[in-house]
Amino acid sequence: GAVVSQHPSRVICKSGTSVKIECRSLDFQATTMFWYRQFPKQSLMLMATSNEGSKATYEQGVEKDKFLINHASLTLSTLTVTSAHPEDSSFYICSARNSQGGGELFFGEGSRLTVL
Amino acid sequence: AQSVAQPEDQVNVAEGNPLTVKCTYSVSGNPYLFWYVQYPNRGLQFLLKYITGDNLVKGSYGFEAEFNKSQTSFHLKKPSALVSDSALYFCAAGGATNKLIFGTGTLLAVQP
């Protein structure tokens, strides 16, 4: 099946610094990628929809200046958590839909962010 | 508003017994329905989907799900559970919009 690679899988950073997470579709082109956040023992919360070549669409309550999304190519989207705080610690998961596929989303392995 | 409900936080079943994980949905337009499985500290793995066609959908690892339009349900089933099936299962639905909405997840625990 289609593969989505997410990097890094784990990152620890100091409060006030910025962290970038990459999401790549390895064997298909994805005009749209999605970023989710998952809290412990909770479901996935859609943060934003990343659109290749245009601005991301953020869900209500998600700060666009806090969570910068860039979708520079058909196979790469990045999420940058700016000026991270401990409350930003979470599991971030990206997903992509194969433009030529059957509609299902393929997910990255997730990135565990810990802000000290 | 679109929503997906998984009424059970946890389902316990003995190995070899059949299992059912429940899901109901509310979306605008024709529903697109999915089941995903998540192992600890991992991303989600696709199990199966319903777009159109037969109401009974067969997926990976022996799982299947039945689309019931009148009950707006899409329950996940397996005839004989394995200990290795123990994981967190998510139902998801999409409709007229491009977004997938996820249920809250059901933890499946299969006892040997």
A44-63 pLDDT, tens digit per residue, is 889 999 888 888 999 999 99
Task: Give the residue from chain A lying closest to B103, CA to CA.
Answer: A43
- How far does the CA of residue B46 sit from the closest CA of chain A (Å)? 7
Residues of chain A found within 8 Å of residue B41, distances taken between Cβ atoms: 91, 110, 112
pLDDT at B52: 85
Is B82 a residue whose pLDDT tops 80?
A: yes
pLDDT at A27: 86
Query: DSSP assignment of A6-55, as one string?
Result: EE-SEEEE-TT--EEEEEEESSS--SEEEEEEE-TTS-EEEEEEEETTS-
Q: Which two tokens stand for residue B80?
A: 């004989």
Q: What is the mean pLDDT of chain A?
A: 89
